[in-house]
A and B are shown apart, each in its own frame.
Chain A
Amino acid sequence: MIHNSTDVIIKTVARIFIPFIQLYALYVIMHGHYSPGGGFQGGVILGASLILLLITHGERVAMQRISENWITILFSLGVLIYAGIGTLCLFFGGNFLDYGVLAPLLHVSPAAARSLGILGVEIGVGIAVMSVMVSIFYNIARSGPYRNKGTTARRES
């Protein structure tokens, strides 16, 4: 159980930092094909911002912002976006994750369809990585619904 921090410096720094960290994570995800980064790295930064909120403002505030049910929905959704775009290419006659064949669906040239397809896959990977990071941290930090019931007594002794 992580309680609310009593230190005013840490809380203020976290409150100012978290929106900029999330903005930077979106930048890393969106510019994954021009600069270092991409879906995984952006997802890790996005998860780090939520972990920072959990560490500084306590468990209750973090649970109000993003609950464990939402985390479960989000990491299923991320995998669905990734695998869905890949499988959609199969239906259009290409290989798995061959975005060029999506051009008639998106009404753009094949090169632009490849760029958009990579962006969509990276958004899916980013959502999945972010929610899995936060889910692991929730399960370590508290006795959540996914926790093994047998280990609870040993932890509290």
Chain B
Amino acid sequence: MIDFLYGIGFGLCFLVLVVLYRGIFGPGVYNRIAAVSAVGTKTLIILLIMGFIYNRVDMFIDISMVYALLNFVGTLAAAKYLEMEK
């Protein structure tokens, strides 16, 4: 079971690197916002997998909920900033 979790965790870390390319070099602001949002979602799952590995899901679920919340607010703030720029 723990090998399975390690496999998923490292796979998601690799996918974060793939998305990070779009976040750094991606043309336009919209691609970057989508990339940051996707990295945030993957980080949430990686945090939960770390919780399962350390057998302390109840603590890591708090951190991941805060991360999801701030990710949502951050994406919304970036979208609002773009709307005001027009």
Contacts and interface: CB of A to CB of B under 8 A. Distances in A.
A21 interface: yes
A53 B6 CA distance: 39
A35 B76 contact: no
B73 A52 contact: yes
Contacts of A44: 70
B29 interface: no
Contact of A35 (B59, B69, B73, B80): B59
Contact of B76 (A37, A41, A55): A55
Contacts of B62: 28, 35-37
A58 to B, nearest CB: 10
Contacts of A24: 65, 69
B77 A35 contact: no
Contacts of B70: 44, 48
Interface residues of A, number: 17
Interface in A26-40: 28, 35-37
Given A2-B84, A35-B59, A36-B59, A45 B66 contact: yes
- Interface residues of chain B: helix, strand, loop or mixed (majority): helix
Interface residues on B, range: 10 to 19
B77 A51 contact: yes
A41 B73 contact: no
A48 B63 CA distance: 15
B58 interface: yes
A142 to B, nearest CB: 12
Nearest to A21: B69
Contacts of A41: 66
Contacts of B69: 21, 24, 45, 48
A-B residue pairs, 8 tightest by C-beta:
A48-B73, A55-B80, A35-B59, A52-B73, A36-B63, A35-B62, A36-B59, A55-B76
Interface of B: 58-59, 62-63, 65-66, 69-70, 73, 76-77, 80, 84
17 contacts: A10-B76, A21-B69, A24-B65, A35-B58, A35-B59, A35-B62, A36-B59, A37-B62, A37-B66, A48-B69, A48-B73, A51-B73, A52-B73, A52-B76, A55-B77, A55-B80, A56-B76
